[in-house]
Amino acid sequence: MSVLVVGSIALDTVKTPVEEHADLLGGSASYAAVSASFFAPVQLIGVVGDDFPPEHVQFLEKRNIDLAGLQRAAGKTFRWSGEYMWDMNTRETRSVELNVFEHFTPELPAAYQQTPFVLLANIAPSLQSHVLDQMSRPKFVIADTMDLWINIARADLEALLKRVDMLILNDSEARQFTGETSLVKAGRKILTMGPRYVAIKKGEHGCLLFGENEFFSCGAYPLEDIHDPTGAGDTFAGGLAGYLAKNVHGPVQFQDLKSAVVFGSVMASYNVEAFSLERLRTLSDADVEKRYGSFCLMSQFEVIK
């Protein structure tokens, strides 16, 4: 089954203590869509300007990502610039230029409105709800969010949570949103707000997955070299959604999500090995399966196909 991915498409400038690269393919939807495409067909909704390089479009098309929902507007593409410190966890945003993304309103082609799996990548919760208004009874809806929306659009986010099956956010956002210092308490509290499942990302320390009376903790794949952490969370979400679309034919169960979280973590571990989406350009299905097997052995997680 297919995955509908809605979010930002950007041109990034990323600086680390070792390297700096400009005009990289970025944005939440780009990372999520490419990651999901390793498992299932993807339909992408986003907006780019007339400066968006054709080679990026060709790369997305090469991944068999349906771009019928890609809006092209006069003006410049959304641009973001950030710098990572030596620990590769601390990041400083140097500049944000919304450009054509400032007035982005997701509009779904008719063929997209029946898509069973929906990943609402990181955009304003009001726009995420606008997408759901156009959908016809999706099977499973995943929403990602960030601290900005918790600060300036909390009411919209709380309304959205009543309409989604799963929320993904990071540890600091979970604490900010709930006022709880304990991530276990935070995850349980978010469940009472509407979603059936919650995934709390902890960066290099893995992920916590919550369901009703169910809990799973997944570590992160150990890496010796991290070149660019940008988009790791979006890659995680895309891999998770893609795995579900490929492997779940009935109702989504907690056991399905456990495997999906591990595959999402595998995809994120590959993504950070190079700048932008460069590592995913050379990644093979065999690479994904091999690392999944290694991950399961290291974490004593039961391999499920």
State in words which class domain 3-299 has.
Answer: alpha beta
Residue 221 makes CB contacts below 8 A (sequence gap 6+) with 265, 266, 269, 291, 294, 295, 298
pLDDT at 305: 46
Rounded Cα–Cα distance for residues 194 and 216 (Å): 19
Q: Is the dihedral of CA 87, 90, 93, 98 positive or negative?
A: positive
User: Residue 196 in contact with residue 163, Cβ under 8 Å?
Assistant: no
Rounded Cα–Cα distance for residues 214 and 255 (Å): 10
Distance of CA 183 to the CA centre of its chain: 20
> What pTM did the predictor assign?
0.94
Q: What would the 3-class secondary structure string for 109-177 be? A: CHHHCCCCEEEECCCCHHHHHHHHHCCCCCCEEEEECCHHHHHHCHHHHHHHHCCCCEEEEEHHHHHHH
Nearest to 31 by CA among 42, 20, 15, 19: 42
Length of the chain, in residues: 305
Q: Is 275 left (phi over 0), alpha (psi -120 to 50) or beta?
A: beta
Q: Is the dihedral of CA 285, 286, 289, 295 positive or negative?
A: negative
Q: Give the domain ranges of the chain.
A: 3-299
Rounded Cα–Cα distance for residues 118 and 121 (Å): 9
161, two tokens: 């949570």
pLDDT at 63: 96
Query: What is the residue-level pLDDT of the chain in tens, covering all 305 positions?
Result: 999 999 999 999 999 998 999 999 999 999 999 999 999 999 999 999 999 999 999 999 999 999 999 999 999 999 999 999 988 878 899 999 999 999 999 999 999 999 999 999 999 999 999 999 999 999 999 999 999 999 999 999 999 999 999 999 999 999 999 999 999 999 999 999 999 999 999 987 889 999 999 999 988 888 878 899 999 999 999 999 999 999 999 999 999 999 999 999 999 999 999 999 999 999 999 999 999 998 888 766 555 54
Query: What distances in angstroms separate CA 140 from CA 44, 100, 116, 206, 275, one per listed residue?
Result: 17, 29, 6, 23, 31
